[in-house]
Structure 1
């Protein structure tokens, strides 16, 4: 269970964070949340898909790392096999909490990344914040602001009926698997939008992220290739 605490330089003066990636750090996840301002970086490596909320009223964009629950095909050789790690992963074990209306940095003290003996120091010897914590603060701010922008982006997609469900079949060494339950941008409907609608999307800053989603779909085939390679490695191990 997570054990969140407000980060401070008294209780956490000796806190260090292990920045490596692997299953033991909780990175064996199929996907992570992302947001429109991050799409340009994400689409270089991962498919961007949408998942319907539990109440069925909206959608959340995700960076896809695997093709089934608990699978991260980017965990290789004791590290993360991509030049960009989405902020929802990279910011761990830190998160944004609130003191009233004020956002404050929290840390999960039960995270396997937290240490007193190894990793990046969070604070300097006399209480100042380290360069690493400066980076974390920037990541958390970008993530917080980005997630706040997501509802308007999704609302624009829904207003123009631009989301559609899709399925994707993968031939694995242990059999055929179908990826389903996710949504993507309906390219034909996008192409049929008139100039006024496209101008509105552009002026609102939504058009570029939409094209980033479309560009990212080519990485579904990359994920399938990674899955087959991982399966063969297990078979031959």
Structure 2
């Protein structure tokens, strides 16, 4: 089982094997993304995220295995214009008004153990907040999940539903060829030039050329609003350049 970004060692949570496991919930996990300049963002989060971060799209997976030979895409919230730079973390604390659900779910995640099994609740065994002696219990004495664990599982299941909804939304954008390769350039006050490539953004020409029926469809399924929030968010690229100047 491969580990997604920011996770060290995902292990399926087992009520027998981990019946004594506890989690120190007061420990902040934001340091796990201190070296990451972007994170996956579900479409349901666009309304909050677009107020603070640029929202871009990136190609994921192998296009040869995709429908129509087009690589699937996924949205990302961007936290910095340089690799390994997260401008929303300072002194170990998250500085943004909104924290993406991908980070909020840590140190848990849903993962498929193998292709034939259902998704299982997993935890990052490398996270320092887990122990058998300190923190909130994950299981009661009779082996049943505690209220904390049930709530965590519900959040994970909601995250997976929204991730699937995001996949379908992105699939439609790819079908309509509404995304194109983009780049962003900025010059910092110290003279350093930043050139950001490898991301996709709305193709304005193809967007403007959509027929009325397609525009109506995108309005009804919510994609039109998502695209507008994406467009609005791109103005934060310049804001990030200013944050690099101040860092």
Q: TM-score range by the shorter chain?
A: 0.7 to 0.9
From the superposition, tell whether residues 90 and 160 of structure 1 become closer, same or farther in structure 2 (CA, over 3 Å). Answer: same
Paired position in structure 1 for 2:73: 59
Aligned residue in 2 for 1:160: 176
- Which residue does 2:195 correspond to in 1? 178
2:17 counterpart of 1:11: yes
User: Cα RMSD over matched residues?
Assistant: 2.5
1:48-91 CA distance string (max 9 Å, x none): 11112253422121111111221111001320001221111111
Distance 1:21 1:126, change over 3 A: same
Residues 202 and 224 of structure 1: is their aligned pair in 2 closer, same or farther, counting only changes over 3 Å? same
Bigger mean CA deviation after superposition, 56-65 or 119-128? 119-128
Separation in structure 2 between the aligned mates of residue 33 and residue 82 of structure 1, nearest angstrom: 16
Structure 1 residues without counterparts, runs of 5 or longer: 231-237
Distance 1:22 1:149, change over 3 A: closer
Distance in 1 (alpha carbons) for counterparts of 2:234 and 2:33: 26
How many residues were matched structurally?
A: 229
Structure 2: 5+ residue stretches without partners:
64-70
Q: 1:217 to 1:125 in 2, by over 3 A?
A: farther
- Distance in 1 between the 2:85 and 2:21 partners? 33
TM-score, scaled relative to structure 2: 0.80
In structure 2, the residue matched to 1:234 is none
Which residue of structure 2 aligns with residue 76 of structure 1?
Answer: 90
Distance 2:191 2:125 in 1: 39
Q: 1:222 — aligned with what? A: 239
**Could you tell me the TM-score, scaled by structure 1's length?**
0.83
Q: How far 1:194 moved relative to its partner?
A: 2.4
